[in-house]
Amino acid sequence: MTHVVVVGSGIAGITAALHADAAGAAVTLVTKGALQDANTTVAQGGIAAVVFPEDSVKAHIRDTLAAGAGLGAPAAARVLADEGAARIDELIEAGVAFDRTAGGDLARGLEAAHSFPRVLHAGGDATGRAIEEALVARLRASGVRVLEHAFLIDLVTADGRATGVDLMIAGCRGILPADAVVLATGGAGRLYAHTTNPAVATGDGIAAALRAGAEVADLEFVQFHPTVLAGPACFLVSEAVRGEGATIVDAAGRRFLFDAHPDGELAPRDVVARAIARRMREQDGRPVLLDATSVRGADTAAFLAARFPTIDAAVRAHGWDWAHSPIPITPAAHYLMGGVVTDLDGRTSIPGLFAAGECARTGVHGANRLASNSLLEGAVFGARAGAAAASTGWPTVREPAAVVPSGASGASGASGASADIAAPPFSRAALQELMWRGAGVERDAPGLAHATAVLSRWAAAVRNPRTPADFEHENLLTVARAVVAAASVRRTSVGAHFRRDDPACRTPVIRSVATRHAPDSPESGTHVRSSAHVLQEAR
Measured from the Cβ of residue 497, the count of other Cβ atoms closer than 10 Å reads 27
The C-alpha atoms of residue 438 and residue 182 are separated, in whole angstroms, by 32
Burial bucket for residue 461 (CB in 10 Å: 0-12, 13-18, 19+): exposed
Q: What is the CA radius of gyration of the chain?
A: 22
| Distances 495 to 25, 196, 362, 479 between C-alpha atoms, Å | 39, 19, 17, 20
Residue of 456, 449, 460 lying closest to 417 (CA atoms): 449
Report which DSSP code applies to 162: E
Are the beta carbons of 319 and 185 closer than 8 angstroms?
Answer: no
Q: Which long-range contacts (CB under 8 A, 24 or more apart) does 99-103 make?
A: 99/123, 99/124
Residues with Cβ within 8 Å of 249's Cβ and at least 6 positions away in sequence, in order, are 255, 256, 288, 289, 291, 326
Enumerate the H helices of 108-230 as residue ranges: 127-140, 204-212
End-to-end alpha-carbon separation of the chain, Å?
A: 36
Q: Hey, what's the torsion of the CAs at 103, 106, 107, 110, to 10 degrees?
A: -140
Output the CA–CA distances (angstroms, integers) from residue 304 to 43, 218, 323, in the order listed: 18, 37, 7
For residue 506, indicate whether it is catalytic: no
Instruction: Give the E-state strand segments of 423-535 in sequence order.
Output: none
From 78, 87, 269, 384, active-site residue: 269
Give the strand order in the sheet containing 339-341.
216-217, 339-341, 360-361
Question: Residue 247: which H helix or E strand, with range?
Answer: strand 247-249
Q: What distance in Å separates the CA atoms of residue 71 and residue 73, rounded to the nearest whole number?
A: 7
184, 359 contact by CB (below 8 A): yes
Measured CA to CA, the distance from residue 4 to residue 17 in angstroms comes to 8
List active site positions: 269
